[in-house]
Structure 1
Amino acid sequence: MTLATARPTRRALTGVAGTALPAFVDHHVHLHLIDPERLAARGIAGVVDLGGDPVALARRTTGLPRVAYAGAFLTAPGGYPRGRGWAPDAIVRDVWDASLHPGVVGGARTAVDEQADAGASVIKIALHADAGPVVSDDVLAAVIVAAAERGLAVVAHAQGAGQVERAVEAGVSALAHTPFDARVSRRLVSRAVTAGQAWISTLDIHRGAEREHAVANLRAFAARGGRVLYGTDLGNGPLPVGLNRRELLAVHEAGVRGDALIAALADPWPATVPDEAVSTFVAGPAPTDPDDVPTWLSRGTVVPTEELPRAD
């Protein structure tokens, strides 16, 4: 097996031989629930925060990991994640009006503008029908329009009967979680792929039937050419801070393997995060057996690119 993006190297400072790869991103984290300072040592150079205080996130301008973010969840009044212990008021905004006029209380434009003005790279909307009310179709459409006018994509937490279908129909750019409630029809998977929708993996947060559904759905999506993004929902329970071997193995199980797995890790969505100043370093040569790749990748660490000259 040959990994097109892997190159042999020897770290300039330590002399350790290994492999250089693009910088890796966890595309679904919640920074207020973890210690982000540990991420770079465990192979994560960039993160996408998909639900946090936009003011606090806007203050993170230097250091590793590089951060792109959605700012607050947009949700219906009383909807998910309102009332959760891990979701303070600062990370939730209620939206009930489809108005595209700025400054309207509860309006789609107002909520989107607040996140965009705080530096958001994507807008997050909650479509969690199992946990309370969800926004109307008109509000969902207005959020997508308002985000597009600010040059931003929309990512949805879609859970509960009909919510994945709504997200695909409405033109949501990405799903924050691979669908896990049930198996998604081949027709809907094809429509999501054709629309260019991305799915963030987050397989390791599930067990039992939900995990089986998520792996099967991601396998079908990837097999049809869907854009898969590595993401863990870090902060959701006892997940390892850094590269998650279990997540990598699950994505591999779903058929996203070798260079495709590296592409899911290194994808710059939704913004160029991180930049090329840092790379992933894994000690030792790249494995020859494809089944060894997930575990090997999980040993990566973030290193300045200038420290990793070619060694071949």
Structure 2
Amino acid sequence: MTLSAARSVRRALTTEAGTALPAFVDHHVHLHLIDPTALAARGIAGVVDLGGDPVALARRAAGLPRIAYAGAFLTAPGGYPQGRSWAPDATVRIVTDASRHPGVDGGAQTAVDAQADAGASVIKVALHADAGPVVSDEVLASIVAAAGDRGLPVVAHAQGSGQVERAIAFGVAALAHTPFDAPVSRRTLSRAVAAGQVWISTLDIHRGAARAQAIANLRAFAARGGRVLYGTDLGNGPLPVGVNRRELRALHDAGVRGDALVAALTDPWPHVGPNSAVSTFVPGPAPTDPDDVPTWLSRGTVVATEELTHVD
């Protein structure tokens, strides 16, 4: 098969022949739960941290991988992920008031401003109704509006009855996870696509029925023209640090194949890139069998673009 973004190249330092692609991005990680030093060697040049200490993230935002981040989860009192062992206090911000006035304790504007002022590129809100209280409609609307005023999209962890629908209705730009707890109706899928909502895959965190449901939902979303991003929720359980072959194969099973799979890996959302200084290098030519593409892509590594020489 032909991948439109692929170039045949040779590495100047090693003379190894292979293929160059744009830099890969994992659009859902938690850096405080992993050692990120191996990411570049294993193919990931950029990450989007979707729940961490905004001050700590601001301090580590230079170098590779390039980092965009949401800062803290915005959630209701007692809501997800408050109290989890993996979510220190600095990674959670409680929102109790829909106020759009700066400086109001517990206010939506105050919470959004705190993340934006720390350099956030996106705002994350927890709509996990299966794990505790969620913010009210009024608070959610204020969070989305406040983020919009700062030029930032909102991403939601939407889980539980009606939460995906709420995210669409209130203008949430992205879902942090492909819905996995129930089938998504055709009407809801059409509304999500029409709104331009993006879905981050995170398929490999699931097993059994939840995995099958997530793949089915993503297949239906992608078939309608929905924008899909590669993301793993790295830090959530025993996931490989680097490009995750299982995630790529699950995306392939969901119909996100070939150029669409490369697009999911290289999309700069929210604004991780583009980073023309580095590229993904995969040894050897692109495979001719589409079923071999996920495994082949998983062999990528990050190299300096200037190290690569185009060959015919």
Q: TM-score range by the shorter chain?
A: over 0.9
Match of 1:261 in 2: 261
1:133 matched residue in structure 2: 133
Hey, what does 2:301 align to over in structure 1?
A: 301
Residue 144 of structure 1 corresponds to 144
Deviation at 1:273, TM superposition (A): 2.8
The aligned runs of 1:104-253 (5 Å cut-off) are 104-253=104-253
Q: Give 3-state SS (helix, strand or coil) of 1:213's partner.
A: helix
Any idea what SS the aligned residue of 1:309 has? strand
Which sections of structure 1, spanning at least 5 residues, go unmatched? none
Please report how far the alpha carbon of residue 297 of structure 1 lies from its aligned counterpart in structure 2 after TM superposition: 0.2
Aligned mates of 1:141, 1:309 — CA distance in 2: 50
Instruction: Compare 275-284 and 57-66 and name the one that shifted more.
Output: 57-66
Partner deviation per Cα, 1:13-60 (whole Å, 9 max, x = no partner): 100000000000000000000001110000000000000000000001
Question: Which SS does the other structure have where 2:222 is aligned?
Answer: helix
Runs of 4+ in 1 over 3 A off after TM superposition: none
- For residue 183 of structure 2, what is the amino acid of its counterpart? R
Say what the alpha-carbon RMSD is for the aligned residues: 0.6
SS of equivalent residue, structure 1 residue 93: strand
In the alignment, does 2:66 pair up with 1:66? yes
Whole-Å Cα distance in 2 between the matches of residues 106 and 201 of structure 1?
31
Q: Tell me the percent identity.
A: 81
CA contact (8 A) 1:45 1:274 kept: no
* Cα distance, 1:272 vs structure 2: 3.5
Residues 18-33 of structure 1 aligned to structure 2 (within 5 Å): 18-33=18-33
Instruction: Find the counterpart in structure 1 of residue 90 from structure 2.
Output: 90
The AA in structure 1 aligned to 2:286 is A
Instruction: Decide whether the 8 Å contact of 2:51 with 2:91 is kept in 1.
Output: yes
- 1:76-125 deviation line (CA, Å, top 9, x unaligned): 01100000000000000000100000000000000000000000000000
- Kept in 2: contact 1:51–1:72 (CA 8 A): yes
Amino acid at match of 1:175: L
Aligned pair 1:288/2:288, yes or no? yes
**Distance in 2 separating the partners of 1:122 and 1:40:** 23
Do the aligned residues in 1 keep the contact of 2:68 with 2:121 (CA within 8 Å)? yes
Counterpart code for 1:55: V
Deviation per residue, 1:222-272 (Å, 9 max, x gap): 000000000000000000000000000000000000010000000000014
Offset, 1:138: 0.3
- Aligned residue for 1:204, secondary structure, equals helix
Deviation of 1:275 (Å): 1.1
Instruction: Indicate if the aligned counterparts of 2:48 and 2:272 stay in contact, CA closer than 8 A.
Output: no
For 1:154 and 1:4, the matched residues in 2 are separated by 31
Equivalent in the alignment of 1:7:
7
Q: CA deviation at 1:274?
A: 5.1
Instruction: Give 1:208 deviation, angstroms.
Output: 0.9
1:61 shift after superposition: 3.2
Q: Is the 8 A contact 1:153 1:172 kept in 2?
A: yes
Amino acid at match of 2:136: S
Report the equivalent of 1:311: 311
In 1, the alpha carbon distance for the partners of 2:288 and 2:296 equals 11
TM-score by length of 2: 0.99
SS in 1 for 2:167: helix
For structure 2, which runs of at least 5 residues remain unmatched after alignment? none
The TM-score normalised by the length of structure 1 is: 0.99
